[in-house]
């Protein structure tokens, strides 16, 4: 096992990355160059690279090349910090892009959660979020317009928790969270520039107000190598 060619190649690059000879964000040689250097075919080179990708050490940009993965951000849902805040606090540069926004009728699941009629309007918001220019997260959310009337007129690239606090005197409190490690839906993978079949992290989050109403339902699709989850459970 340890003698396989792809395995040795993984070890070679893993060492270069750990020693910082290959620095975070830098580009690897092309697959053909690596193959030439080690007398391997592209198939074998790609297997090694794909394994390192699954490990989270490198990632690819579609048809541009392979790059060393930058450090992951730590996401602690129980801290109630906004994306902008915790990313900034950890020394990274956050950025948010709105891909779509529309008022639409609630589906059965959302309506039931929000305790509204089954086609009552909710605000659907679809965003892409970046850390240091790298797209890491697709967010699709459904926002309760009964609790947050007029929110659709605000600038929805900003932090929602800030907006809630400043304009509605509301804050995130209780949450229900579901985590799944699975490949991303192809739409989200495309929007992140991830090739199909790569692993991802899927988070579903229900945010409640302090009086137990559902403020927002959130679906997050993360690059698996961009985030670690920390949670403290205190009863």
Partner DNA sequence: CAGTGGTCTAGACCACCAG
Partner DNA sequence: TGGTGGTCTAGACCACTGC
**Which residues bind to DNA, rule: CB under 7 A?**
1, 4-7, 28, 30-33, 39-44, 46-47, 60, 62-66, 195-196
Strand partners, 101: 125
Place of tokens 């009728």: 105
Q: Tell me, rounded to whole angstroms, the distance of Cα 190 from its chain centroid.
A: 13
181 binds, among its own copies, DNA, none (CB under 5 to 8 A by kind): its own copies
Alpha carbons 9 and 38: distance in angstroms, whole number: 8
> Which CB, 93 or 231, lies closer to its own copies?
231
H or E, element range at 86: helix 83-89
13 binds, among its own copies, DNA, none (CB under 5 to 8 A by kind): none
Strands 94-105 and 199-208: unpaired
103 binds, among DNA, its own copies, none (CB under 5 to 8 A by kind): none
Phi-psi region of 205 (alpha: psi -120 to 50; beta: other; left: phi over 0): beta
> Which CB, 26 or 112, lies closer to DNA?
26
Q: Would you say the C-alpha torsion 99, 103, 106, 111 has a positive or negative sign? A: positive
> Which CB, 94 or 200, lies closer to its own copies?
200
H or E, element range at 130: strand 121-131
Q: How far is CA 80 from CA 44, 84, 85, 207, in A?
A: 45, 12, 10, 10
User: Where on the chain is the footprint of its own copies (CB under 8 A)?
Assistant: 7, 43, 47, 50-51, 54-56, 72, 77-78, 173-183, 196-201, 224-225, 228-235
> Which CB, 51 or 159, lies closer to its own copies?
51
- Minimum distance from residue 10 beta carbon to DNA (Å): 10
232 binds, among its own copies, DNA, none (CB under 5 to 8 A by kind): its own copies
- Minimum distance from residue 62 beta carbon to DNA (Å): 6
28 binds, among its own copies, DNA, none (CB under 5 to 8 A by kind): DNA
> Which CB, 68 or 156, lies closer to its own copies?
68
């Amino acid at each position: 096992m340890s003698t396989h060619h792809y395995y040795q190649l993984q070890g070679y690059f893993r060492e270069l990355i750990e020693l910082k000879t290959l620095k975070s964000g830098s580009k690897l040689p092309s697959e053909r160059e690596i193959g030439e250097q080690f007398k391997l075919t592209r198939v074998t080179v790609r297997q090694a690279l794909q394994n390192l990708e699954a490990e989270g050490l490198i990632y690819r940009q579609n048809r541009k090349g392979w790059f060393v993965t930058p450090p992951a951000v730590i996401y602690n849902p129980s801290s109630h910090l906004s994306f902008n805040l915790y990313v900034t606090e950890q020394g990274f540069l956050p950025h948010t892009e709105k891909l779509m926004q529309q008022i639409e009728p609630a589906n059965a699941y959302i309506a039931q959660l929000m305790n509204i009629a089954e086609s009552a309007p909710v605000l659907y918001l679809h965003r892409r979020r970046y850390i240091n220019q790298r797209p890491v997260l697709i967010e699709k959310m459904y926002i309760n317009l009964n609790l947050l009337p007029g929110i659709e007129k605000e600038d929805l690239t900003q932090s929602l928790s800030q907006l809630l606090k400043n304009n509605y005197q509301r804050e995130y409190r209780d949450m229900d969270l579901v985590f799944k490690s699975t490949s991303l839906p192809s739409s989200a993978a495309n929007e992140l520039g991830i090739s199909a079949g790569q692993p991802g992290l899927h988070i579903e989050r229900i945010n409640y107000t302090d009086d137990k109403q559902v403020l927002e339902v959130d679906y997050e699709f993360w690059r698996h190598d961009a985030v670690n989850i920390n949670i403290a459970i205190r009863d």
